[in-house]
Structure 1
Amino acid sequence: MILDLLFPNRCIHCNRIIDPEVLVCDLCCNQIHFTHYDYFESNPITEKCKLLFPVEHTYALIQFEKENLSRNIIHELKYRSREKIGKILAEWVTERLDFKNHKPDLLVSVPLHPKKLKERGYNQLHLFTETLAEFYQIPFDHELIQRNHYSKAQALKDKKHRLAAGNAFSITKPITGKHIVLIDDVFTTGNTVSSIAWEILNAGDNKVSVLVMAVDA
């Protein structure tokens, strides 16, 4: 392709020319800090979530550390219109996460407010979620939860404002008796997933697990 010759895909870290379907070169891939969490074992996210709501299992793919490659990857996905990174991250998850005989019933991604969705042009979690759903053969629902208020990005808020998000989400349809995995990009305080989790838990006899691209340690 002429465009591939004129504008070759480059590693987002070292700028080396790489395959069009790859995010980083092999050398830089070694600099990504994967968590190596076990979905069925307790980890830092599990412990934080248990203080906020009844959680079943949790998983994070990478560490979201200051000034590291993992943070750059998430920022490229969210703020530089590189939606396809979501598919790559999901493929990395499938290489590391095995639900074994305990597959959840439904995958649900954190929604954007319609105004934010229009500004960004895409929800950075949708392709990620859909790729996981296809691989694991688990249904997904992008419409189950709606965001009620428009607000600036979590990364731009101070801690006080991140902790205050009452009534931020609501459930759009009846659902009961399901084990639902909530999917988000970065886990920080746990406030976002907690707000959604309580909506799901209060809707019926449901269970909630959490899966995120990255955890901000």
Structure 2
Amino acid sequence: MILDILFPNRCLGCNRIIPADLLVCELCFSNIYFTPSGYFDDNFIKERCRLLFPVENTFALMQFDKENLSRKIIHELKYKSREKAGEILAEWTIERLDFKDQKPDLLVSVPLHPKKLKERGYNQLHLFTEKLSEFYRIPFDHDIIKRNQYSKAQALKDKQNRLKSENVFSITKSITEKNILIIDDVFTTGNTIASIAWEILNAGNNKVSVLVMAMDA
């Protein structure tokens, strides 16, 4: 209570004081650009993914532009120890994502390297994935994909280095005949997701779909 008084939660958009369980005020929330495309639509991410690997369906919650509010939200989640922001983003996703009668079989989030996980203290995708799992009643597995290489933050890499991701991931368990939903925070080149997708596809007669918090066009 005292900390709430001394260090009140402030809107990431306008800096006004807001309840502790929110990221933005009502006014700034209306300024977030939520992508209009649904899970089954031929959207931008699906087009990009199809250039890299066979994909079933795709969904992006927000547009990730250089100066917009979604960038601040994702950065708070990843770099400012706002792990709980993942649950809020999951709630926003649930309001907009309809699997209809074609739910995936398993939710898999992009893993961090153990060294990066120790540095950050949490994987920014775990609470987000778990919240979706609970609502949609789809199992998740945080351990089925292993990151083999430690690297600096994706946001700090130049474009050429971001494209180099061979042998970054490996499968730790046998998995076949499943439709796997790969979950990540931001879709940029699609290279990270493609690396995981091919591991899943090559592991058996599997299919992959993609869900991201934001897409960077």
Give yes or no for TM over 0.5.
yes
- How far 1:112 moved relative to its partner? 0.3
The unaligned stretches of length 5 or more in structure 2 are none
- Residue identity (%): 75
Corresponding residue pairs, total: 217
Task: Find the counterpart in structure 1 of residue 141 from structure 2.
Answer: 141
Q: Residue deviations 1:127-157, cap 9 Å, x none?
A: 0100110111100000000000001111111
Alignment pair present for 1:47 and 2:50:
no
- How far 1:17 moved relative to its partner? 1.1
RMSD of aligned Cα (Å) = 0.8
Letter of the 1:210 partner, please give it: V
Task: Find the counterpart in structure 1 of residue 151 from structure 2.
Answer: 151
Counterpart CA distance in 1 for 2:196 and 2:67 is: 29
Task: Find the counterpart in structure 2 of residue 8 from structure 1.
Answer: 8
Paired residues for 1:109-148 under 5 Å: 109-148=109-148
SS class of match (2:101): coil
SS class of match (2:189): coil
- How far 1:15 moved relative to its partner? 1.2
Q: Residue deviations 1:190-212, cap 9 Å, x none?
A: 10000000000000011100000
Counterpart CA distance in 2 for 1:133 and 1:156 is: 31
Moved over 3 A (4+): none
Counterpart CA distance in 1 for 2:5 and 2:160 is: 48
Q: Residue deviations 1:10-59, cap 9 Å, x none?
A: 11121111122111001111111111221001101000000110000000
Paired residues for 1:178-217 under 5 Å: 178-217=178-217
SS class of match (1:55): coil
Counterpart CA distance in 1 for 2:37 and 2:135 is: 20
Counterpart CA distance in 2 for 1:20 and 1:189 is: 34
Counterpart CA distance in 2 for 1:72 and 1:36 is: 20
The unaligned stretches of length 5 or more in structure 1 are none
- How far 1:6 moved relative to its partner? 2.7
- How far 1:2 moved relative to its partner? 3.0
Task: Find the counterpart in structure 2 of residue 78 from structure 1.
Answer: 78
Letter of the 2:74 partner, please give it: I
Task: Find the counterpart in structure 2 of residue 64 from structure 1.
Answer: 64
Letter of the 1:121 partner, please give it: G
SS class of match (2:82): coil
SS class of match (1:142): coil
Counterpart CA distance in 1 for 2:160 and 2:6 is: 47
Counterpart CA distance in 2 for 1:183 and 1:162 is: 18
- How far 1:4 moved relative to its partner? 2.4
Task: Find the counterpart in structure 2 of residue 103 from structure 1.
Answer: 103
